Amino acid sequence: MIRELESNDGFLLQELLEKDQAFFMKVYGHDAASEATNLFYSSPNGVGLTEKCLIGLFENGGLIGCLDGVYKHPSNRDAYVGFLFVGPDARCHGRGTSILDWFSNECGCRGINNVLTSVSTINKRGLDFFLKQGFNIQTTKFDVKLDLVLSDLLILRKTLL
């Protein structure tokens, strides 16, 4: 089941993120502490909370994946995936695809034509995932600081049908 996450899901979200501390250390240079709070309350400059989407994938009563995105950003015809995460034990079984498909379908219902995301070149698994989902590399931003890690950032786009 996929549904929007609510503030009382914060503990479940934090517990999910802490299952892969190695990911956070590799990509961001710190552990997953307080990441759930950041996902609930952060959004790009100029984007209101009404355009924010934080969804979770639940199986057997547990949270196994999440997506943090915004509608109508950076333009009214675009949406942006800021974070997509599936717990280590649930990966490689189509669950990330399910979450992304849910978000993409919602975007289509809102008249959005494109879904964008950015992936650090350090995150090879994430890049491979988005490329398999039909995203294309649009541009590269060099030497971007992601929290504590300096990395090149690939900007990806998928046009919705």
C-beta separation of 127 from 121 below 8 A:
yes
Query: How far separated are the first and last CA of the chain, in Å rounded?
Result: 24
pTM: 0.90
pLDDT at 153: 85
Positive or negative, the CA dihedral 123, 138, 141, 16 is negative
Assign a CATH topology to domain 2-159: Aminopeptidase (3.40.630)
Q: Where do the structural domains in the chain lie, given as residue ranges? A: 2-159
**Distance from CA of residue 49 to its chain's centroid?**
16
pLDDT in tens, 52-92: 999 999 999 899 999 999 999 999 999 999 999 998 887 88
